[in-house]
Amino acid sequence: MTGNFQQKDSGFFTYPAGGWRMAMFKWPVQLWRLGLAPIIGHQLMLITHTGRKSGLSRLTMVEYYKMDRKKFIVSGFGSRAQWYRNIDADPYITIQTADGVESVRAERVTDGETLLRLLDGVKRREGLLLNMYLEALDVSPDREDILIKKDRFYWLTFEPTDEPTPAPMPADLVWIWPLVATGLLAWLWRWKKRRI
């Protein structure tokens, strides 16, 4: 086994300790708030989880994958990701995708065969990204090495629950679209009037 392996920072998988890199990972939540869930929710999942120290609701947007009618996500930064630590402390979360809102219990994927099938799916969809991910984990892309080092992978799946979970994020910024449309129409009207 690999013991207390520390994932190495490598390219895209360099941990965003703050600044613009952290902001880059946070901005997709604003797209959800703008009401774009029907568009981005086919590839991105909004997770509402509980802060392990504050007890407050926290939001994280991650790419998700479907396999056997189940949804899966990966913590690309392993156990260093704050959202992963929060979910590890309290696995009762709310997920939102284009499929709607679900109250679920998050579970780490520990089965080697399931992990291999997930990685095969990622390879078909995003082979280059998978190679960078495996490099950051110091795992070669062969099945044997993946199985030997499977504890380095932080993949989660979800089971429905009746337990209380955080409230879902509403699309509370949809009101901006009429303002943008009104501004654009006013600009077009002025532009057309000047040309006459």
Give the pLDDT score at 49.
97
Per residue of the chain (196 residues), what is the pLDDT tens digit? 334 666 666 666 666 666 776 677 778 889 999 999 999 999 999 999 999 999 999 999 999 999 999 999 999 888 888 999 999 999 999 999 999 999 999 999 999 999 999 999 999 888 888 888 898 899 999 999 999 999 999 999 999 999 999 999 998 998 888 888 888 888 888 888 787 6
Residue 169 identity (one-letter amino acid): M
Residue 139 identity (one-letter amino acid): V
CA–CA separation, 166 vs 20, rounded Å?
28
Neighbouring C-beta atoms of residue 37, cutoff 10 Å: 20
Which residues in 54-93 are b (16+ Cβ under 10 Å) and which e? eeebbbbbbebbeeeeebbbbbbbbebbebbebbbebbbb
Fold of the CATH domain 11-171: Pnp Oxidase; Chain A (2.30.110)
This prediction's pTM = 0.83
Tell me how many degrees the CA angle 24-155-90 measures, rounded to the nearest 5: 85
* Type and span of the H or E element at 93: strand 92-97
Burial of 29 (0-12, 13-18, 19+ CB in 10 A): middle
DSSP symbol at 151: G
Give the pLDDT score at 28.
85
CA–CA separation, 122 vs 115, rounded Å?
11
Question: Beta partners for 49?
Answer: 58
CA 162 to chain centre: 23
Give the pLDDT score at 6.
65
Neighbouring C-beta atoms of residue 148, cutoff 10 Å: 15
